[in-house]
Amino acid sequence: MTEIRVRHTNLRDQVLEVVQQAMVSGEIRPGDIYSASALAARLGVSSSPVREAMLALVHRGLMQPVRNRGFRVVEMSERDLDEVYEMRQLLEIPATLSAAAKAGPADLARLGALAGEIEAAAADGDVARFLEADRRFHLDLLALAGNRRLVDGIAALRDQTRLYGLEKLAETGRLPGAAAEHRELLAAIESRDLSILERLLRAHLEHTRADWAG
């Protein structure tokens, strides 16, 4: 992260992306405290967009403010991860089934392109790009259900787990296998077989808890 320089106009979003990638890679670690001014100096930007990005992460439950010191990455306990997993089962599976029933050819084409991005990132071992494409795939699919608040709630739950375990999947060569699950989901959606889709979704969530998070 020390060599990255943020030059785009929307600095807050650019900083947010960089910080999230650093969290996924483990460069920014749970329990450590980071000041907005120090991160701003490393990124070559002013403190204001960095502080805004950190506050956005506070809102998502990923960071917490530390008075007069900066921001700390929230440490997720096993119980926290179990609770998020349970909530995702209760919310994400029925929401995805509802969304899948409304998916048309254009939606499937768009999701197929995202699945291709996930596969390409997996082949390159690019964990940050994999995570971003995976997030867009699932949230774009959920958006078809037409409930913005539900999508936002599930997005927050996904963000809280952060999926640090993806690094191990990349190191052991298992990231392409995780990527392939998205093609299976698309095939079930296209065939309108919701029973198979539900089974695949439950297995996908089990993998995110057992293999990806922690």
Compute the average pLDDT of residues 91-112: 96
The per-residue pLDDT for 1 is: 52
CATH code for residues 11-73: 1.10.10.10
The single-letter code of the amino acid at 39 is L
Q: Structural domain boundaries of the chain?
A: 11-73, 78-212
Across 11-38, b (16+ Cβ under 10 Å) vs e yields bbebbbbbbbbbbbeeebeeeeebbbee
- pLDDT tens figures, 1-41: 545 554 444 888 888 888 877 876 677 888 889 999 998 99
The per-residue pLDDT for 103 is: 96
Residue identified by tokens 């403190």 is: 47
Measured between its terminal Cα atoms, the distance across the chain in Å is 22
What is the CB neighbour count within 10 angstroms for residue 205? 17
The per-residue pLDDT for 51 is: 92
- What backbone phi and psi angles, to 5 degrees, belong to 125? 70, 25
Residue identified by tokens 């956005």 is: 56
The single-letter code of the amino acid at 184 is E
- pLDDT tens figures, 167-209: 666 677 778 888 999 999 999 999 999 999 999 999 988 887 7
In angstroms, the CA 92 to CA 99 distance is: 10
Take residue 207 and report the two structure tokens written for it: 């993998």
Say which residue, 5 or 158, is predicted with more confidence: 158
Class of domain 78-212: mainly alpha
Distance of CA 123 to the CA centre of its chain: 18
Local structure of residue 211 (DSSP, 8 states): I
- pLDDT tens figures, 50-93: 999 999 989 888 899 999 899 998 888 889 889 989 999 999 99
The per-residue pLDDT for 50 is: 92
Task: Collapse the DSSP code of 70 into the 3-class scheme (helix H, G, I; strand E, B; otherwise coil) and give the result.
Answer: strand
Take residue 92 and report the two structure tokens written for it: 């994400």
The pTM assigned to this predicted structure is 0.77
